[in-house]
Amino acid sequence: MQDTLTKQKVSTTVQENTTSNVSTEVDKVIVGSIAAFAGVVGIWSVACIVSAMFQSGGPLGLIKGWLSALSGM
């Protein structure tokens, strides 16, 4: 009795069906725009605070000026 070994080549193909919804892409753009605008507003606020500190003579001068503006004295 004789055993014969044979090689078989198995080929598999994987296909991904990805569909992109237009509303999903629009939502991504909107979220990105909101995040970018929030970043610009944050940078602008830091620039304003730094400018106010330079004009008032430092953080203590800024706080003193702010408290005097709040109290009206």
Local structure of residue 20 (DSSP, 8 states)? -
The count of structural domains within the chain is: 1
Report if residue 64 sits inside a domain. yes
Reference 53, options 42, 61, 41; nearest CA is 61
Report if residue 57 sits inside a domain. yes
Report if residue 2 sits inside a domain. no
Report if residue 11 sits inside a domain. no
Report if residue 12 sits inside a domain. no
Report if residue 6 sits inside a domain. no
| Residues 18-66: tens digit of each pLDDT | 667 888 889 999 999 999 999 999 999 999 999 999 999 999 999 999 8
Q: Which residue has the tokens 């970043």?
A: 39
Report if residue 36 sits inside a domain. yes
Q: Which domain holds residue 36?
A: 24-71
Report if residue 9 sits inside a domain. no
- Is pLDDT above 70 for 17? no
